[in-house]
Amino acid sequence: MTQELVAIIGGSGFYSLLEDAAEVLPETPYGPPSGPITTGVLAGRPVAFLPRHGASHQYAPHVVPYRANLWALRSLGARQVVSLSAVGSLRVDRPTGTLVVPDQLADRTHGRAHTYFDGAAGVGHVSFADPYCPRGRAAAVGGGAAVDGGTLVVVNGPRFSSRAESLEFQSHGWSIIGMTAMPEAGLARELALCYTTLALVTDLDAGVEAGEGVTHGEVLASFAVNLPRLRELLVAMLATLPAEQGDCGCGDTSSHPPSFQLP
């Protein structure tokens, strides 16, 4: 069976794993994506890597060109998307270094372009009750290396949370906190893409323990130390990810405006 291209959104630290690597930079109606997309083969699967924050990490979370990124990946033929993310933990039982595959999202972002369904595209209302692809999540947790489930709350950034905000998020029972899953996940659903997040805990959020709050330098250092484990999880996931998008429901286009054309 021919395997569909799998899109991977993350950082440049994964490019060295690819065989037959080549760069492309698709044009989109929403401007250029964050940077050149590297296509190649990983774990026997055709993949396309996109640097979410740009090749030089020039895009802060609130200005990432999310619409261009997802559009570009689908235009290359991707139907399944794996998002690699650094997150903070809101629970002491998910310490630094924990790999998490969340099953829910809570959106606390603002001021971002959250939809393709505006203007000439018409108005649509896609289902988002379960933001993540069930088949993608099953492939990610199947090897037992990652914690299964939990809610990822997405804040606007680029600042980190205050202790009061962190305590509020904990009070809702949310597990991890990040800055990039929205509108990325919502846009993926509007483009009828499967979407799965592999989240690496790089710090405990401000309200989880006493002491100094997290710094950007600490997050980067923790991510670098744990990067090999995230790579291993990604490779294991690709080995069991379905060859093509199936009947998971992510590809449903029945709620699309009649005038909206998928790339």
Of 85, 102, 80, give the one whose Cα is nearest residue 192.
80
118 in catalytic set: no
* Contact present, 185 and 72 (Cβ < 8 Å): no
Map residue 201 onto helix, strand or coil.
Answer: strand
148 in catalytic set: no
What is the Cα–Cα distance from 75 to 103, expressed in whole angstroms? Answer: 26
Catalytic hit among 107, 205, 247, 252: 205
Catalytic hit among 148, 203, 247, 252: 203
Q: Which residues contact 45 (CB under 8 A, 6 or more apart)?
A: 3, 6, 238, 241
Q: Evaluate the omega torsion of the peptide bond into residue 158 and state whether it is cis, within 30 degrees of 0.
A: yes
What is the Cα–Cα distance from 70 to 90, expressed in whole angstroms? Answer: 28
Retrieve residue 40's tokens: 């190649």
The widest CA-to-CA distance across the chain, in whole angstroms, is 54
**Residues forming the active site:** 203, 205
